[in-house]
Amino acid sequence: MTTQATSGTALPFAERLDRLAEVAVRVGLNLREGQELVLTAPLDTLPLVRAITTQAYKAGASLVTTILTDDAATLARFAHAPDSAFDTAAGWLYAGMADAYRTGAARLAVSGDDPSLLAGQDPEKVARANRARSTAYRPALELIANFATNWSIVSAATPAWARTVFPDLPEEQAVARLWDAIFSASRVDGLDPLADWAAHNAQLHARMGKLNAHRFAALRFQGPGTDLTVGLADDHEWCGGASTSRNGILCNANIPTEEVFTTPHRLRVDGHVTSTKPLSYQGTLIDGIRVRFEEGRIVESQARTGADVLARVLDTDEGARRLGEVALVPAGSAISASGLLFYNTLYDENAASHIALGQAYSKCFRGGGEGFSEEDLSARGANRSLIHIDWMIGSAEVDVDGLTPEGRPVPVMRKGEWV
């Protein structure tokens, strides 16, 4: 499996995989000498996991601890576990992860899950299992959402995921095509991937700076099935690209990334919105989402597929029906230009503007939210929840205006592209 590099020389698959691992460690995490790394990944992503582990130790990691998940084991639970088991989660594991982050460990997730793994399972059991996991994971999630340590997410092609993206291809070809798309989107095929990432981050920072200069009070999204006004949190700050975590390390939370994002005000979202891409959530595909907000809260919801799971997600807690993030992505981004629907939030959210239900990022405030208590964040409008779920609402048919504090509209995007 080879491809053409920018230089015109063919890069073998093993070299591209190693480059992706280096980008994950050097750009995504910016891992420091002596730092521990907690790595989570599906079992089918082992080749990338091993390459990342090698790059982490080359960067000076003191210890890499890997936690693997297995689709077959997950399905065995739904097939054979007693009913009471679906209210159980490994709290001890997530408490240990939270303790690792508090004491300075970096966190890297490798994604590559089967988007439809749980499609045939009882939606109530899926919802209960997700709620139990979210509750147990809460201490670790808050540390990640607050950028207490350097963290990142990167993806690897797996057979199940590849079959979903390329259903008409033989499995081997599908996996190869998906790897090509991942390598391209992650900017590893050029002459100098690290330099390419530095240039890309500079572009995202420039866009972020322009939005911060406007100090918009709200954003308005208008398009087919969508007329949504998203009020922005008081003292909000736009973020994007590389940013400094609270342990002082500059990192890229997503590999790839095309977004600039900020924190909405949890009480100031009104109107209706229609998803523009399916949402793959915990093994269930939720498509055709339509919701209506009143005073920040979803009061009506429906979906063509996965509606039962969506309804249960929205009932996770009070904050699950409110927004924790709004992000702008041009419709012509590199991932969108690929023409692929990835059925993977990390990729599809970087092909379209999106919103996220649930937990807000505390760093999206002036000064990075440094020193803000939960009460301070809440007073400025930040949402709190057990979940943080992104879903896509942007496309080449959606316009975005920024609204000044006086309510005057300022064009930000037209037909999905920056003005």
What digits encode the pLDDT tens for the residues 230-266? 999 999 999 999 999 999 999 999 999 999 999 999 9
What pLDDT, on the 0 to 100 scale, is given for residue 2? 40
Write out pLDDT tens, residues 112-122: 999 889 988 99
Question: CB under 8 Å to 372, separation ≥6 — which residues?
Answer: 362, 365, 380
Q: Which helix (H) or strand (E) holds 179?
A: helix 171-185
Give Cα 414 distance to the centre of its chain.
Answer: 24
Is residue 146 pLDDT above 90, yes or no? no
pTM exceeding the 0.75 threshold for the entire prediction = yes
pLDDT bin (cut points 50, 70, 90) of residue 3 is very low
Write out pLDDT tens, residues 287-301: 999 999 999 999 999
pLDDT bin (cut points 50, 70, 90) of residue 285 is confident
Is residue 93 pLDDT above 90, yes or no? yes
Is residue 1 pLDDT above 70, yes or no? no
What pLDDT, on the 0 to 100 scale, is given for residue 364? 94
Q: Say what percent of the chain tops pLDDT 90.
A: 86
**DSSP SS3 for 250:** strand
Question: Is residue 248 left, alpha or beta, with left meaning phi > 0 and alpha meaning psi from -120 to 50?
Answer: left
The mean pLDDT value for 262-280 works out to: 96
Statement: 2-185 belongs to CATH 1.10.10.10: no
pLDDT bin (cut points 50, 70, 90) of residue 282 is confident
State the sign of the Cα–Cα–Cα–Cα dihedral 337, 339, 341, 344. negative
What pLDDT, on the 0 to 100 scale, is given for residue 226? 98
What pLDDT, on the 0 to 100 scale, is given for residue 310? 94
Give Cα 403 distance to the centre of its chain.
Answer: 26
Domain boundaries, the chain: 2-185, 208-242+259-418
Q: Which of 202, 240, 275 is nearest to 364 (CA)?
A: 240
The mean pLDDT value for 125-139 works out to: 93
Supply 231's token pair: 């009020």
CB-count exposure of residue 282 (10 Å: 0-12, 13-18, 19+): middle
Supply 146's token pair: 């607050």
Contact between 45 and 71 under an 8 Å Cβ cutoff? The reply is no
